[in-house]
Structure 1
Amino acid sequence: MGNYITAHDGTSIYVEDVGTGDAVVFLHGWPANNNMFEYQKNALLEAGYRYVGIDYRGYGKSDAPATGYDYATMASDVHMVVDGLGIKDFTLVGFSMGGAIAIRYAVDFPDDGLKKLVLSGAAAPVFTQRPDYPYGMTQAEVDALIEDTLKDRPKMLEGFGEIFFEKEHSKPMQNWFHHLSLVASSHGTIASAKALRDEDLREDLPKVNVETLIIHGVHDKICPFEFALEMEKGIPNSRIERFEESGHGTVLDEMDKFNKTLLEFI
């Protein structure tokens, strides 16, 4: 069933909440929505878990205000959902940008009942290169993505999708995944890209105080595998699960392995 939770600034955040067992909360990637976890949801429900999928502000069925697309505000939205639904002792799964938001949440709200953390292809600790951080896209490359979004968002999304997966997926599957991003708000897509470009979580990693599983595709062209190594170095109780046949989209490239790994961890 679907719920709407009101954020601090009045924004309505859409949540898909299905099942009755222990809760697993999912944070999607840029610029999709919680439906990207369709095949994880099915596996969790079959195993008796509760699936809680959040659409960020600006994405999916949530409201799309003009502001609030920084990690701290998005993490606050997650807190309002967890609090509003009374979720305790849960696992949080953050994919790509959702991984960065999940880290921000784990640090900002350590008393919310978070039990375990899964970071899949996380856009963390930093998405763009710095003088002392040579990994990921350059800030100029993200600026170009933003410019392309302003000119032809569907074409930008198509190009982004071409580097998302390592394996070949059916055309209908590719179209479905592309559509998830098309329904996002344009201004939310742009504002979130600026957050990806500018934010830095390196000092936050040591403050993550829950057991953390880092799932990362070795062929990831969006969040290079070096990101996983940096997260493992920084997060005290963490380990990496290498996905040898995956690009960025581990949830589909190695769907069965992803689901099995997730179920074993939680």
Structure 2
Amino acid sequence: MNSFIDVGDGVRLRIRTLGSGRPVLLIHGWTLAHEVWDRPMQVLAAAGHQVIAVDLRGHGDSDAPLEPYDVVRLAADGAAVLRACATEPATVVGWSLGGLTALRMAHDFPDLVSGVVTVASVGAAHVRHDAYPYGPPAGEAAESALRGFEFADRIRFRRKAIGDLFKDVPATDVLDWLHRVSLRTPGWVADACLSTLFRTEQTALLPNIKVPFSQIVGVHDPGLSVDGARWVQGQVDGRLIELDCGHYPMLECPDDFDKALLTLV
């Protein structure tokens, strides 16, 4: 079932729901949309879950205001979706940018979240910070460079940004599909969410997470530090599952990803 949820200030988010049972909220990554969860939705629904996949604000078919796109706002949007759709606390599965959002939801809205699974994300940060010395370089120069590429030629930048995060060169039809989905996200949204990826640092929240917190990561993901994932897992109660893939485990090794996900929700 497809519908829209009003999250305030005139912004509506597109959601897709499937199945019934214990709720699972699926949150996608930067410039993508709920479509990336097509197969996991089927698997989770068949296993007895109510599956809710959301298009983050500015992405997919959701409304795209000029601002805000910080992780606190994205988490509040996710909470609004759960209040509207779920009758009990949900496991929140967040991929990449969605992983930052999922951790924030568990901290800010503990009554709505029964567990967190981050995918290709450690949840605490996306790039290096003083409190998280892992992952790709941070800093204004690195952020400005990517935002400049996005502004100058978003079509080419999006294709390269997506394709470079696979372990192996993706099939052309897969890359074409992801590129089409990505280009539905306007430039001002992509720009703002790049800043969110670079500026969000949530390590101080980890000791306050009282629900199971697990990670599924690709050991060949150029956008993530496996050492960082192991460090984060030492701060929380949950499991770390490492797969032989890059940033897209649901596409690169779908059987292994489905198996891992079912053990964590």
Q: Does 2:180 align with 1:179?
A: yes
Which structure 2 segments of 5+ residues have no match? none
Q: What are the residue-to-residue correspondences of 1:1-266 with 2, within 5 Å?
A: 1-112=1-112, 114-122=113-121, 124-131=123-130, 133-138=132-137, 139=139, 140-235=141-236, 237-243=237-243, 245-266=244-265
> 2:38 & 2:95 partners in 1: Cα distance?
13
- What is the one-letter code of the residue matched to 1:210? V
> 1:54 & 1:231 partners in 2: Cα distance?
26
- What is the one-letter code of the residue matched to 2:91? T
Which structure 1 segments of 5+ residues have no match? none
- TM norm structure 1: 0.93
> 1:265 & 1:143 partners in 2: Cα distance?
37
Alpha-carbon RMSD across the aligned residues, in angstroms, is: 1.5
> 2:189 & 2:40 partners in 1: Cα distance?
25
Report how many aligned residue pairs link the two structures.
263
Is the CA contact 1:70–1:192 (under 8 Å) kept in the aligned structure 2? yes
Distance apart, 1:223 and its partner CA: 1.8
- TM norm structure 2: 0.94
Moved more, 103-112 or 161-170: 161-170
Closer, same or farther: CA 211–150 of 1 in aligned 2, 3 Å: same
> 2:218 & 2:73 partners in 1: Cα distance?
28
Is the CA contact 1:44–1:51 (under 8 Å) kept in the aligned structure 2? yes
Closer, same or farther: CA 49–132 of 1 in aligned 2, 3 Å: closer
Distance apart, 1:249 and its partner CA: 1.1
| 3-state SS of paired residue (2:45) | helix
Closer, same or farther: CA 132–52 of 1 in aligned 2, 3 Å: closer
> 1:45 & 1:155 partners in 2: Cα distance?
36
Is the CA contact 1:96–1:223 (under 8 Å) kept in the aligned structure 2? no
Distance apart, 1:132 and its partner CA: 5.2
Is the CA contact 2:115–2:213 (under 8 Å) kept in the aligned structure 1? yes
Identity between Structure 1 and Structure 2 (%): 28
> 2:259 & 2:131 partners in 1: Cα distance?
36
Is the CA contact 2:163–2:175 (under 8 Å) kept in the aligned structure 1? no
